[in-house]
Amino acid sequence: MGVDPASSRVRVRRGARKGRYDAEAVASVLARGLVAHVAFVDREQPFCLPMLYAHVGDRLYVHGSRASRMLRRLSESAPVCVTVTVVDGLVLARSAFEHSVNYASVIALGRFATVEGEAEELLALESFTEKLLPGRWREVRKPSRAELKATTILSLALDEASVKLRTGPPDDGRSADATLPVWAGVVPIETRFGEPLPAPDLAPDVVRSASVERLLELDAQRSSS
């Protein structure tokens, strides 16, 4: 079980028992997710945009072109809401009303700060790369000073964050609907990696990187277990 949230703004109210507030729960969901949806307001117009992210310690990082209007707005300390969601299964009940999904989601509130200094910039970019594919950072060319200068990296302190999750079967097992002759249960959702497609201009003598081979091996092991 988690502890009380540091802020009432992220307290789970509907289905409060599904809420978690400890750093370990937040980190677990962020490790599984890939895309964060970042919501903010610019000139009275709300926006919600998907972004890749990295998580290091108690901070969440996003990055993009220094010319990005969105990143300029976020770097001005605009209030943001960041969400990351992982869906694990379809929850099929006997009634249409009780259908749901099993999921885990993080919501974080705060303001982004611009990352200054090459050391933290490189740490953030390494974390982005390693989140996409562990081991990849060691295999590729590192960012140049010109590339760092052209990139804006922002960090969000996870001071106001909570997790909400749902697990298990449908909730209608103890209702009158339990006697209906309709199949009910959970259909798991699994993510698999397909056969890698080489870049069309890749030299024919370049073999797959060790990080890619390791990813495929781990994926095969998971699917066979």
Could you tell me if 27 and 81 lie in one domain? yes
Could you tell me if 130 and 45 lie in one domain? yes
Could you tell me if 119 and 205 lie in one domain? no
Could you tell me if 159 and 170 lie in one domain? yes
Could you give the strand order of the β-sheet that contains 54-56, starting from the edge strand earlier in sequence? 54-56, 59-65, 151-157, 113-114
Could you tell me if 43 and 152 lie in one domain? yes
Range of the domain at 205: 193-225
pLDDT in tens, the chain (225 residues): 344 555 788 888 887 888 888 999 999 999 999 999 999 999 899 999 999 999 999 999 999 999 898 899 999 989 999 999 999 999 999 999 999 999 999 999 999 999 999 999 999 999 999 999 999 999 999 999 999 999 999 999 999 999 999 999 999 988 999 999 999 999 999 989 999 999 999 999 999 999 999 999 999 988 887
CATH of the domain at 108: 2.30.110.10
199 within some domain: yes
26 within some domain: yes
107 within some domain: yes
111 within some domain: yes
88 within some domain: yes
